Amino acid sequence: MKASGLNFTRRLAAATVAVALIGVSAAASAHCDTLDGPVVAAARKALDTGNVNLVLVWLQKKDDAEIRKHFEKTVTVRKAGGPAKELADMYFFETLVRIHRAGEGAGYTGLKPGPVEPSIAAADKALETGKLQEVAHLISKRTEQGLHRHFDDVMKKKKYNPNDVAAGRAFAGAYVEFTHYVERLYGAAETLAPGQVQKTAPGLAHSH
pLDDT digits (tens, 9 = 90+) for 13-55: 443 443 343 344 444 445 677 888 889 999 999 999 999 999 9
* 3-class SS of residue 77: helix
- 71: nearest Cα among 62, 54, 168, 183: 54
pLDDT digits (tens, 9 = 90+) for 76-120: 999 999 999 999 999 999 999 999 988 878 888 788 776 677 888
Percent of the chain at pLDDT > 70 equals 75
Domain ranges of the chain: 1-32+117-208, 35-114
What pLDDT does residue 20 have? 42
